[in-house]
Copies of this chain bind each other. A is one copy, B any other.
Amino acid sequence: MSTIDFDELRSRFHLPQGKVYLDGNSLGALPRYTEERLRELISKEWADELVSGWNTKEWIDLPLSVGDQIASIIGATSGTVVCCDSLSINLFKALTACLEVNEGRGLITLEDGQFPTDSYIADGLSQLLGADRCRTQAVDIAALTPDTLAESAVLLLSHVDYKSGALRDMGAITATAQSAGCLVIWDLAHSAGAIDMDLEASQVDFAVGCTYKFLNGGPGAPGFLYVAERHQEVQNPLPGWMGHARLFDFEAKYEAAPGIKRFLTGTQSVLALSAVSASLSVFEGLTMQDVRARSLALTGHFITRWEQSSVLQSHAALVTPIDDAQRGSQVSLALESAFPVSQALIADGVIVDFREPNIVRFGFSPLYNTFSDADQAIASLEAVLTSERYRLPQFQIRSTVT
């Protein structure tokens, strides 16, 4: 049984008053310690230490030290994760690395309906290198067999699907791919910080992720890159000075640093990385098994409430798997008028989001969401649907970000 006091854990976050926040799978809430730490960083360190801070405050090590903090959350060993750039940029590095490791194969296999940036980056690489060196194919992940991957250099897929919230079996799919001589890159954007996983035990080759969702690193916080130790000799296609073996020797010739450090490129934002570092400290002392159990309990509770509601049964189809082993940390409902319904919920103080074409996502962040949040969301959704107030004109207007 979990020994975590979830009420106490919740109190460590600043949560918006009078709102039910179910969008931590899009942007995580602000840990109170992060607010405090950033104040210190800005008003003491940047202000007074200035350039000395790179040494005295170990800013220069942040991409690696934050990487190590992330490693402990995703079941990776120290020295295999670097926190830098964006998920998209890190994916570019991982994909070229796979083409190098798996020389002779030029095919990238990804999933039909993958989160867009993943397929855009893969297609962009194909366009840059030319089809003779790199092509992409999109497949139905449910029908994946070793045969499908016989020519693939790498299989790229999301650990948790951003629309349905379906969780994939990391160990089994990795083994299937590798049995066909294919490497794997897991996109952990929707799982890191909410799902227990073990990249080492699953023998994952590469992984990428972001820190602004369940890791609570702040809006647009940096991405991360995991490279299994056995692949750390590959080239970084974006070899900036921060990945050099001796960066302040300013040598004309690039010599890659040993280990994960070579995957760094340019100078990273100390503000952004310090926010991530502070936010990750909230995970200290927790086990990811306990965090995962809480997540399943919350989403399970929400699903039970959906099952018990005749209004919801008739209006909203469950898209997320009911089976615990296949469920991430969000529940997705397919609805007619999903966009205006999401806007009416937000107006009610239940913060959710909409995904094309007809999905409303209810994200549960195990560190701060509660069973009462689930109950309030269900009640609000019932009220929005029965009152039909989602038909009001103001709920039809699309902003840039949905």
Chain A interface residues toward B at CB < 8 A: 14, 16-17, 21, 23, 26-27, 29-30, 34-35, 38-39, 42-43, 46-55, 59-61, 85-89, 92, 96, 112-113, 115-117, 119-121, 123-125, 127-129, 138, 210, 212, 218-223, 235-242, 244, 247-252, 254, 265-273, 275, 346, 351, 353, 355-356, 399-402
Contacts and interface: CB of A to CB of B under 8 A. Distances in A.
7 contacts: A14-B48, A27-B53, A54-B400, A86-B267, A115-B250, A116-B250, A218-B269
A66 to B, nearest CB: 12
Nearest to A235: B127
A266 B86 contact: yes
Contacts of A49: 16
A271 B254 CA distance: 31
Given A219-B54, A248-B402, A275 B271 contact: yes
Nearest to A59: B219
Given A55-B401, A124-B254, A237-B128, A47 B220 contact: no
B88 A252 contact: no
A191 B252 CA distance: 22
A355 B248 CA distance: 8
A30 B59 contact: no
Contact of A400 (B60, B92, B117, B401): B60
Tell me how many chains of this kind the complex includes: 2
Nearest to A400: B60
A132 to B, nearest CB: 11
A388 B311 CA distance: 85
Nearest to A243: B120
A46 B218 contact: yes
Given A16-B48, A23-B51, A121-B240, A355 B250 contact: yes
A46 B16 CA distance: 10
A48 B219 CA distance: 12
Contacts of A48: 14, 16-17
A254 B123 contact: yes
Contact of A401 (B14, B60, B119, B125): B60
A85 B127 CA distance: 21
Contact of A39 (B39, B244, B270): B39
A295 to B, nearest CB: 19
